[in-house]
Amino acid sequence: MTGGSGASGASGASGASGASNARDRAAIVIGAAAIVLAGFVFGAALPTEFRFMNIGPVGAGLLVAGGVLSIASGIIRQRMLRLIAGALLTGAALVQLVGLAVSIRPLGGDASAIAVIGGLGIGLLVLSLLPSPSTQPHDPTKGNP
């Protein structure tokens, strides 16, 4: 038990490192979700109650690309990769939105693809654009009365 807690304690010793680890883990989870959701390209074969997303091969490819970038950003702790993945997914959602407005389907899906891809992209952008936490841990018992 001490081996596992010692490893996590060493990597999360400072407040900034702990917050960075949380952001990296979140990027990995979002990336994994994007890759799993790309499987809905085969959603037409699912029963109706499980077909909550309609996406084509182009949209699935973008989800996989964004997911791989997001996972890589979390593993190597690169904020810029996370930002690129978020911009890619958010941009794809905007392209789908404009495409649906002019009656084309650039990602091969419908508005559900916009919601899923855009939501994942915005989540990554928020993780990327959050200000860096202060190096001093916040103690709520100290400060202004």
**Per-residue model confidence as pLDDT tens digits over 33-63:** 999 998 887 766 767 666 778 888 888 899 9
Rounded to 5°, the CA angle 70-10-139 comes to 90
The answer for residues whose C-beta is within 8 angstroms of residue 35's C-beta and 6 or more apart is: 63, 64, 67, 68, 71
Measure the CA–CA gap between 99 and 117, rounded to whole angstroms: 14
Measure the CA–CA gap between 113 and 118, rounded to whole angstroms: 8
Looking at residue 41, its pLDDT comes to 79
Measure the CA–CA gap between 119 and 89, rounded to whole angstroms: 9
Looking at residue 69, its pLDDT comes to 95
Q: For residue 90, give the nearest of 123, 55, 130, 41 by alpha carbon.
A: 123
pLDDT band, very low/low/confident/very high, at 135 (cuts 50, 70, 90): low
pLDDT band, very low/low/confident/very high, at 18 (cuts 50, 70, 90): low
Q: Do the Cβ atoms of 64 and 102 come closer than 8 Å?
A: no
Q: Do the Cβ atoms of 100 and 107 come closer than 8 Å?
A: no
CA gyration radius, the chain: 19
**Average pLDDT, stretch 77-95?**
94
* Alpha helix positions (H), 1-145: 2-11, 15-37, 57-76, 79-101, 111-129
Q: For residue 59, give the nearest of 108, 23, 102 by alpha carbon.
A: 108
